[in-house]
Amino acid sequence: MRERTDKAPNEPGPGPQVSVRASNRRTKLNRTAVLAAGVVLLLAASILLGSYTVTIPDFFKILTAHLTGGEKIPGASFIVMEAKLPRAVIGTLIGLAFGLSGALFQTMLRNPLASPDVIGISYGASAAAVLAIVVFGASGAVVSGAALGGAMAVAALIYGISRSGSLGTGGGSRGNVAGSRLILAGVGIAAALHAMVSFLMTRADIRTAAEALIWINGSLNSASWDRAGVLVLTLLVLVPVAGLLAGPLRILELGDDAAAGLGIRVGATRLGLVLTAVALAAVATAAAGPVAFVAFLAGPIARRFTGRSSLPASALVGALIVLAADYFAANIAPLLLDGTVLPVGVVTGALGAPFLLWLLVTSNRKDA
């Protein structure tokens, strides 16, 4: 008896769908690789170019001498190893942290406005840091610790307020309402904290106010290897945690009811996502101040570039934004502003404000 090996004419084959899906995945990976290459190029430009240029052979000679205790190049070794390299490394790390934090918030709450900048977490860090500087005369690591504690405290307050709207439990519509409550609570708390910072600044003497103003704008001028080490250790813990939560996060995008039906513990997953996103934003803010709008910009830009929401792409876009903004602030702005070096947060804030307006205008058009 002859076996029938051909398919029925009307039997659908998986080939075209599988090939399209595989092609989309390859395209996404290729574009993410482009973003990674861009980060490497900007990192190299930050180290090698600028007001003090270094050739590639000299850079590797300086790096090798630093690691092995060999002969150093007078002046150049100090500039590269104590100024340029830690500044570029910290800029990359805080960009990754802000970008990943913003993407986690925006994807979880399905709202492009849900970023640490908008919902008040960065303002919590700013208020705590300014309080430490103005009232207690703190500096250095104490200010960073105060910023970290302030961000975590404000995040806990916002989460507590929004949880009464069933952020952690319940169906899809209730979860959406709770997400809106979180954003509105964050905006309200941010306004109150902004008023507190303004009051503290008016009570400070001019020198202390100048120090606080530089910090709250977000700056890489105080970059050091100690801060870079803390950032590396923290990200080695938080990034894998974010990777583990990426799968449940994708299911949460289907809605709370669908996620619960697929076996996801909605409340515990949301709490884990919130804690991870807040910790990422808090450690980045503690290292360099509240660099404005990086977390807000990274997710939407990555989504438009790759065609879908992507945590790795968002993190890389965050690093690109910080590195590009810092290069402009440290090397190009002085040429345009008679030697004035801008904090990196001023440049990212100038980018974020028009993007926010454009996002609101396009959202209104879609709703209409």
Closest CA to 287 of 153, 146, 90: 90
Q: Which residue has the higher pLDDT, 42 or 27?
A: 42
Given a cut of 90, whether residue 160 has pLDDT beyond it is: no
Q: Which of 25-29, 89-93, 253-257 has the highest mean pLDDT?
A: 89-93
DSSP characters over 9-51: TTPPPSHHHHHHHHHHHHHHHHHHHHHHHHHHHHHHHHHHSSS
pTM, whole model, 2 decimals?
A: 0.86
pLDDT, one tens digit per residue, over 204-236 is 888 888 888 878 888 898 888 988 998 999 999
The per-residue pLDDT for 5 is 46
Residue 22: pLDDT band with limits 50, 70, 90: low
- Higher pLDDT: 207 or 14? It is 207
Residue 368 has pLDDT above 60, yes or no: no
CA-to-CA distance for 166 and 175, rounded, in angstroms? Answer: 6
Taking each helix axis as running N to C, give the angle between helix 311-327 and helix 294-306, from 0 to 180 degrees, rounded to the nearest 10: 120
Ranking 18-32, 104-118, 178-192, 314-328 by mean pLDDT, the lowest is 18-32
Encoding tokens for residue 136?
Answer: 């207690």
pLDDT tier, 8 (very low <50, low <70, confident <90, very high otherwise):
very low
Mean pLDDT (whole number) for 280-296:
90
Query: Among all chains, which residue has been given the structure tokens 């813990």?
Result: 237
Kindly indicate the confidence band of residue 26, based on its pLDDT and cuts at 50, 70 and 90.
Answer: low
Identify the weakest region by mean pLDDT among 265-279, 313-327, 354-368: 354-368
